[in-house]
Amino acid sequence: MSAAREPVKVLVTPVKVDYTYTPGIASEKFLLGLKQGKLLGAACDECGRVYVPPRGACPRCARPTSTFKELAHTGTVITFSIVRVPSDNIDVPLPYCVANILLDGADISLTGLIQECPLPDVRIGMRVEAVWRPQAEWGYGMANIKHFHPIDEPDVPFEKIKEIS
Amino acid sequence: MRDVAILSYAQTPYVRTERRRNEVEMLMPVIDEVVAGSGIPRREIGFTCSGSTDYLAGQSFSFVMAVDAVGAWPPITESHVEMDGAWALYEAWIKIQCGEVDSALIFSFGRSSMGETAETMTLQTDPYTMAPLGPDAISMAALQARVGLDRGLWSERDMAEVAARSRRHAKTNPDAQLKGDFDVDQLLAQPYLVDPLRKHDCPPVTDGAAAIVIAADGLARRSVAKPVWIRSIEHRLDSHQLGGRDLAVSPSTELAGKRAGVAQGRIDFAELHAPFTHQEIILRRALGLADDLVVNRSGGALAANPIMSAGLARIGEASRQIVAGQGSRAVAHATSGPCLQQNLVCVLEG
């Protein structure tokens, strides 16, 4: 086969775009809170639902969420999955558990890892608590929370969380 | 065809950098204002369509998050175009023509300040043969300006006069970003930014958002005192290959203008989406507008260029001027792509 007929299999065209990200009023408060070891939710001006992380608007009411509330570091597993495939984004031994956790005082769940718990024991309704990294490692991100682990409290009945899950 | 009218228009004040608010926080007051002005309760608006690009935010699916500003509960019928909001308005207009809905909310937004806008726009070119060469938005416009200058179709003075007039007009627009009285000779004494373009030939970097509510026939008449009728709306496009086009003219604008019936009646004023000075000259000629016609009373994209909203804003501004009694038949135009590649033309009547 002559060189002219060789198929073009790879063409590298690097793309680089730089951004200076500014998170907005609500997200900025949330991120500053993380740096201080706090989980801040924000309540809708109209319906009172508490969002975490807050983005500034209640998606149901399209109203601002002006009232910030410090949330507990405890919550309830709303749903979970056992991950058995590797990912470049996460440095945790396989298999591991990812869960949506409804923090006490919040009306939407956020995502976290469940550890210090045998995987077959993870269940919807299980009570968990955030395990923070050492304070010296705290930045402005959710990575400040290493994972969640179970706490010795009775499960929340499914009936009480079914609307949110 | 159903009669479709613009009921209301709202926008943010245009600023160089929106430091505090994110897109949703910027949009909420704009959506509130435009919905209140439409006379239609928010949950009764039949369709929502937005125009934006993830490249401005550097965040995938950023438009989905923006829907928080609309209130998508109970679930709404919603769509999005990765184009200026003027094309979102076109989609909504089609949806009303099809009889699926009677009203629609259209919005668009962008914070250009977060990135290097001119370079980000390189990414809209062919990713294999053109983008790697790195032509930014200003360089591409400069190629276009050069063609017309060398052919004697316009002069650098003509271009500076467009800039001076745009900024003079913008003095009456409280939302405009660049405004004031500028002397053409002094503008021409400035150095080139990207030869043959000087700074005044280029648009400012602008953060902003805009929104429009449209509705059909009886609903439009019942909802507001002065509906502004969209008598026609057409869009056409030229090749994405700059080398495949005569950059000094805009066949797609000319065709869209003909199909929209621009010449079939008196035109009182125009709002043209021309981010670069020479592009206003190209557009005026393509649409066959009289030399003394008032163009861009708002200041246009040379006074504020909120990318993804600047086209929708031309339609909104034109409707606002009709409601204010500054004319009864107007042309509004939006563009997308490098060097006026895609063009939308509509005729509005009060």
The secondary structure of A85-152 as a DSSP string is S--TT---PSSEEEEEEEETT-SS-EEEEE-SS-GGG--TT-EEEEEEPPGGG--SSGGGEEEEEE-S
Residue ranges of A 60-79 with Cβ closer than 8 A to chain B: 60-64
Chain A CB within 8 Å of residue B22 CB:
yes
Region A145-153: mean pLDDT is 97
The confidence band for A164, taking pLDDT boundaries of 50, 70 and 90, is low
Q: Chain centroid to CA B202: how far?
A: 15
The confidence band for B218, taking pLDDT boundaries of 50, 70 and 90, is very high
Residues in chain B: 350
**CA dihedral sign of residues B40, B42, B45, B51:** positive
Chain A CB within 8 Å of residue B36 CB:
no
Chain A CB within 8 Å of residue B31 CB:
yes
Q: Nearest Cβ partner of A13 from B55, B113, B127?
A: B127
- Check residue B137 and give its pLDDT: 94
CA distances from A14 to B2, B115, B117, B129 (A): 48, 17, 18, 12
Q: Nearest Cβ partner of B22 from A18, A56, A61?
A: A56
Shortest CA distance from B129: residue in chain A: A13
Q: How many CB atoms lie within 10 A of CB B175?
A: 18
Over residues A82-101, the pLDDT tens digits come to: 999 998 888 889 999 999 99
Q: Nearest Cβ partner of A24 from B25, B71, B131?
A: B25
The confidence band for A3, taking pLDDT boundaries of 50, 70 and 90, is low
What average pLDDT is seen over chain B? 96
- Give me the residues paired with residue B106 across strands: B49, B212
Give the DSSP H/E element, type plus range, for residue B42.
Answer: none
| Mutation for testing the A interface, residue in B24, B31, B35, B109 having most A CBs under 10 Å | B24
Chain B CB within 8 Å of residue A37 CB:
no
For residue B349, give the nearest of B324, B319, B311, B314 by alpha carbon.
B319
- Check residue B345 and give its pLDDT: 98
- pTM for the full model? 0.94
For residue A128, give the nearest of A101, A163, A96 by alpha carbon.
A101
- Interface touch A56/B31, C-beta < 8 Å: no
Chain B CB within 8 Å of residue A59 CB:
yes
**CA dihedral sign of residues B89, B90, B92, B97:** positive
Chain A CB within 8 Å of residue B133 CB:
no
Indicate if the pLDDT at residue A161 is higher than 90. Answer: no
- Interface touch B22/A64, C-beta < 8 Å: no
For residue B156, give the nearest of B180, B189, B179 by alpha carbon.
B189
Q: How many CB atoms lie within 10 A of CB A154?
A: 7
- What token pair was written down for B139? 């360089």
**Strand, coil or helix: what is A3?**
helix
The confidence band for B139, taking pLDDT boundaries of 50, 70 and 90, is very high
Indicate if the pLDDT at residue A1 is higher than 70. Answer: no
- Check residue B203 and give its pLDDT: 97
Region B301-319: mean pLDDT is 98
Q: What percent of chain B clears pLDDT 90, i.e. is strictly above it?
A: 91
d(CA B162, CA B111) in angstroms, rounded, equals 26
Over residues B177-197, the pLDDT tens digits come to: 999 999 999 999 999 999 999
Over residues B269-295, the pLDDT tens digits come to: 999 999 999 999 999 999 999 999 999
Indicate if the pLDDT at residue A122 is higher than 70. Answer: yes
Fill in the amino acid letter for A57: A
Indicate if the pLDDT at residue B132 is higher than 80. Answer: yes
What are φ and ψ of residue B313, in 5° steps? -65, -35
- Check residue A159 and give its pLDDT: 87
Over residues B37-92, the pLDDT tens digits come to: 999 999 999 999 999 999 998 888 888 889 999 998 889 999 999 999 999 999 99
Residue ranges of A 7-26 with Cβ closer than 8 A to chain B: 11, 13-15, 17-26
**Strand, coil or helix: what is B274?**
coil
Q: Enumerate the residues of chain B whose CB falls inside 8 A of the CB of residue A21.
A: 58, 114
Indicate if the pLDDT at residue A13 is higher than 90. Answer: no
Chain A CB within 8 Å of residue B73 CB:
yes
d(CA A43, CA A61) in angstroms, rounded, equals 11
| Mutation for testing the B interface, residue in A11, A22, A27, A164 having most B CBs under 10 Å | A22
Interhelix angle B251-259/B277-287, rounded to 10 degrees, is 40
